[in-house]
Amino acid sequence: MDHARLTSVMRRLALDAGDRIMEVYDGPDFAVRLKGDASPVTEADEAADAIISAGLRAAFPDVPLITEEQAASHALRARTFLIVDPLDGTKEFVQRRGDFTVNIAYVEEGAPRRGVVYAPARRRMFYSLPDGTSVEETGALDKDRPGETRRLAVSRPDNAALMVVASKSHRDQATDDYIANYAVRDLTSAGSSLKFCLVATGEADLYPRLGRTMEWDTAAGDAVLRGAGGMVVRFDDHSPLDYGKPGWENPFFIALSPGVELSR
């Protein structure tokens, strides 16, 4: 894989998709329908998926592509692939709360190596550089010329005063019970894959997810977090979360800064 080209292509496609998403978001009421798994989908999801898929297939025709919105891709089996969630946080989008993201990732031999997470309503963009480190781009987010970036690095956690981020739309009692095992200084709620990015920037130390997610929900944020020195582990045995699993479904997981003393 040409990682310099990959970074450039993913960044541009995320911005293109974000523009289309915001056209729908800022427009009049839009239709929402339910998919077979009862999750919501809008024209913004589908339009963003079309933009990203066309761009990735043109740029990397030999790399398998899995996307949330293309059911046929879900039957693929691969350990190295591109994976896309064109609009993560559709519930946040529908309620116009802003915490939704465009997610594109490259997985190699089961590990998310590169990714981009773009929150168009927040104008925050996080991505992997060709060397695998992660940055947040600041400034105008010009499509043709990347702006200044700041290197991301996870926090040095204080286990007597942890900063925790949890899901805004999927918070439940099991999650609250788990968080209660820690000495928490600050608890923030956020939507979509932004939670991974908050750990990557050092704005949070710990993000537990005790609920159903799919690999397209997590791969890009996982790649950004890994590039910032963080990790994502399975909830059950604390082994690294891997990708390319049958059905693309994740187990419960914990995203964290190294140094957090995990509860069992």
State residue 40's pLDDT score.
72
State residue 23's pLDDT score.
93
Q: What is the per-residue pLDDT across 209-221, written as a single tens digit (0 to 9) for each?
A: 999 999 999 999 9
Q: What is the per-residue pLDDT across 17-56, written as a single tens digit (0 to 9) for each?
A: 999 999 999 888 777 777 666 577 788 899 999 999 999 9
Q: What is the per-residue pLDDT across 172-211, written as a single tens digit (0 to 9) for each?
A: 889 999 999 999 999 998 888 999 999 999 999 999 999 9
Position 258 pLDDT exceeds 60: yes
A 10 A CB-CB count for 219 gives 33
Ordered domains of the chain (ranges, CATH): 3-151 (3.30.540.10), 162-256 (3.40.190.80)
State residue 242's pLDDT score.
97
Q: What is the 3-state secondary structure (H, E, C) of the chain?
A: CCHHHHHHHHHHHHHHHHHHHHHHHCCCCCCEEECCCCCEEEHHHHHHHHHHHHHHHHHCCCCCEEECCCHHHHHCCCCCEEEEEEEECHHHHHCCCCCCEEEEEEEECCEEEEEEEEECCCCEEEEECCCCCEEEECCCCCCCCCCCEEECCCCCCCCCCEEEEEECCCCCHHHHHHHCCCCEEEEEEECCCHHHHHHHCCCCCEEEECCCCEHHHHHHHHHHHHHCCCEEEECCCCCECCCCCHHHECCCEEEECCCCCCCC
Q: What is the mean pLDDT of the chain?
A: 93
- Mean pLDDT to the nearest integer, 220-243: 97
State residue 38's pLDDT score.
56
pLDDT band at 73 (very low <50, low <70, confident <90, very high): confident
Q: What is the per-residue pLDDT across 139-177, written as a single tens digit (0 to 9) for each?
A: 889 999 999 999 999 999 999 999 999 987 667 889 999
Position 100 pLDDT exceeds 90: yes
